Structure 1
Amino acid sequence: MAFLSSFDISASGMSAQRIRMDVAAENIANIDTTRTEAGGAYRRKDVLFESYGSESFSQALRNASEGKGFSSRNAGVRVSGIIEDTREMKRVYNPGHPDADGEGFVTLPNVDLLKETVDSMSATRSYEANVTALNAMKLMAQKALDIGK
């Protein structure tokens, strides 16, 4: 039933945004990390999303014109991967730092606090939008059950 799949779609969005928040928090926590297990400074991570199970627009239009309706079964969003940002790392002159190179420069992570804050706020708003959609679906289901009484 397409109505019940709306719960799954909102839940997948909430799950994906939670992971996005976790990655932003990890980036902020490692904003000054100059030494990692892999060697070198921490590299900023980013989340890749992909949709799944949904029809293309042309397929949805074709189905609507044929009276078949929209099929949202097993549709939603998921995290397809967490990748490292390949942007250049910051170099700061600090000859007293234990990780300074021969010229006195320290390689710092490519994490921008402002970008991570905006990503966190965006993920929070997206999560809240999915919660709102989920609550609307729940209210509609409750009203439908009330009609049957």
Structure 2
Amino acid sequence: MSLTSVFNIAGTGMSAQSTRLNTISSNIANAETVSSSVDQTYRARHPVFATMYQTATQNSGDQGSLFAEQDQSGVGVQVMGVIEDQSSLMPRYEPDHPSADENGYVYYPNVNVVEEMADMISASRSFQTNVEMMNTAKQMMQRVLTLGQ
């Protein structure tokens, strides 16, 4: 793995964390929206990530076959999709609410704002870590260029 691939890997990580932050902000924005039916109520959304692998295509004699499994290295992360949380919604008895159904219930989303805030902090820190990896790789490349001086 070359030093330049660090930029690609960190870039995919930053992109994935941006998607995570976008879904978290959507969840928080819709945390207090109500509906008169279960089908129309907003459900929390969560991104699903997967590791992207690159397998070695060149085998060099016996050593290539010995290290074939070790040659698999992660080349980044990809967003497989965004799924809806299927946990139960929160019905509340509010007969005076304009969106209440015929039984007086309104349905609130299954968004836990405290969990979303914790996820937001985690996503933000992961994004920062990827930025620091890029900065470190850039500094290392600059130092390599000054070796011949």
TM tier relative to shorter chain: 0.7 to 0.9
Scaled by the length of structure 2, the TM-score of the pair is 0.83
Name segments (4+ residues, structure 1) moved above 3 Å: 62-67, 69-72
Scaled by the length of structure 1, the TM-score of the pair is 0.83
The DSSP-based 3-state class of the residue aligned with 2:101 is: coil
- Conserved 8 A contact 1:24-1:119: yes
Partner in structure 1 of residue 58 of structure 2: none
- Conserved 8 A contact 1:2-1:71: no
The verdict on how the C-alpha distance between 1:136 and 1:63 changes in structure 2, with shifts beyond 3 A counting, is farther
Could you tell me the percent identity over the aligned residues? 37
In the alignment, structure 1 segments of 5+ residues that lack a partner are: 56-61
Amino acid at match of 1:15: S
Amino acid at match of 2:8: D
Partner in structure 2 of residue 58 of structure 1: none
Separation (CA, whole Å) in 2 of partners of 1:65 and 1:140: 31
In the alignment, structure 2 segments of 5+ residues that lack a partner are: 56-62
Partner in structure 1 of residue 51 of structure 2: 51
User: Which protein has the bigger helix share?
Assistant: 1
The DSSP-based 3-state class of the residue aligned with 1:20 is: helix
2:145 matched to 1:145? yes
- Conserved 8 A contact 1:10-1:134: yes
Amino acid at match of 1:29: A
Amino acid at match of 2:14: M
Alpha carbon RMSD of aligned pairs, Å? Answer: 2.6
Amino acid at match of 1:117: M
